[in-house]
Amino acid sequence: MTRTGERVGAARLRTPAWIARIETPDGRVLGAGVLLAPRRVLTAGHVVAPGRPYTVRLVGVPDLDAVPATVRPDEHVPQREHLGDRSGDLALLRLAAPLPAEHTTRLYRLAAPHGPVSMYGFPDGDDGGRWHGATLVAARGRDSQVQLRPVTPGELAAPGFSGGGVVDHATDQVIGIVLSVDEGPGSAFSYMSPTETILSHLPQAAAWTDGAEAVDPRLRAGAAAGRLDVPFATELASWFRGEGWPVLVTVVPATGDRAWTLQRAVTLADRELRTHRNTSAVSHDPPETVPPAGAHDLALDVTGLTAADVMDRIAERLGIRGDPRPERLGDLRVPLTAVLVAVDRAAEPDALLGLLDRLAGQGARLLPAFRRADGPAARAAELLMHRPLRRRWSRLHGELDHITDELGPALDARRCRVLPGPGTRPLL
């Protein structure tokens, strides 16, 4: 909902009050923006530049005059590109006079963005603006920007959409802003910077943001660096890249090098917490130990939590409303990826293990970490790794037997009926 309680979905039937049109002082339209506070508008970095004058107009509130605006160098993040990998391209405009607070909206954190969205912008010749529909496809690159596929070819985001808010249909929340259009031959994609990526570049925007953070504060790598456990860091980074078995059961004590290595991994793998500072700090580490940004949806210390508590946190991160049953994860286009630490210190370890088994059955990627390598950790490894692997190998063995014992001989028999015998010539 917006700050006024208006559902954004209802606002899609008209022009929302928080939609900002960014112009030059002589009225030329440059792009769109999102009014987050009476004096602050979020937009794409390529729409504006420090030191230049702009005006901001709320097109959904026709009785308001345009307001002068500027952007400071420390609130302008230019787009950077390395080998086709884009990052940044964000800006916060400061308005010379406040606009009414009731017209503002808020950003919303949403893990694994997927599904239908709408975006508002100002294509050439339409200064009043319009909604375009799209589907979120997948995140890409070091900045975890999200591809948007237009619902129809005519709804591809034009330049006047740059900086416009992207509204998620399932939650009716503003989950990011439009950045650019892929200009390659035959391309039909535009790109969105999701809320958590925006916050990694412009942390001050957290004041106007709702939604649960991905990483439990107890699992964040602090300023004090530990000693990197390289083999463990490599194993974690590989799992975060989606390699290997989807469930990785491991043992991580509460303190020590292994604990710090896990904290480093979940911090670097989070869109919001991964910053230029911490990536620079690990620039001399082996590259195979660095996970990609946006590689998990949730990292949670489950000490003292019930299975219901954990499912509620997962549902909140995924934007699941109503009854948060594990079976609802099967409807997601992107599987859940979660790190759950201190599983053996949960209020209900056995019930939580049962929940993890159900989540794994719905396609979730899970990293349950235990404090001790005793009974609970061994049971989890058997339930979530060893037993499913044995079942998979058994099915594979049965399929191979079917191929070699039945399909193979049957194929040979058919080949004998159609191939010419030795010493004969084919007619064709």
Which pLDDT score, from 0 to 100, does residue 145 have?
Answer: 82
Round to whole Å and give the CA distance between 406 and 408: 6
Q: What domains sit in the chain, N to C, each tagged with a CATH number?
A: 8-209 (2.40.10.120), 217-382 (3.40.50)
Return the SS3 of 145: strand
Q: Please say whether the beta carbons of 115 and 168 come within 8 A.
A: yes
According to the model, what pLDDT value does residue 3 have?
41
pTM for the model: 0.82
Q: Residues near 333 by Cβ (< 8 Å), separated by ≥ 6?
A: 114, 115
At 238, list the tokens: 């590989």
Structure token digits, residue 383: 């339930």
Residue 215 DSSP one-character state: B
User: What is the pLDDT tens value at each position of the chain, 428 positions in all?
Assistant: 444 344 445 545 578 999 999 999 999 999 999 999 999 999 999 999 999 999 999 999 988 999 999 999 999 999 887 656 778 899 999 999 999 999 999 999 988 667 889 999 998 878 888 899 998 887 766 677 888 888 888 787 778 899 999 999 888 899 999 987 665 555 677 889 999 999 999 999 999 999 999 999 999 877 567 789 999 999 999 999 999 889 999 999 999 999 999 999 999 999 898 887 878 778 888 999 999 988 899 999 999 999 999 998 998 888 777 666 666 565 555 578 999 999 999 999 999 999 999 898 888 899 999 999 888 888 888 888 777 777 776 777 777 766 777 776 777 777 666 666 666 665 54
User: What is the pLDDT, as a whole number, of residue 324?
Assistant: 61
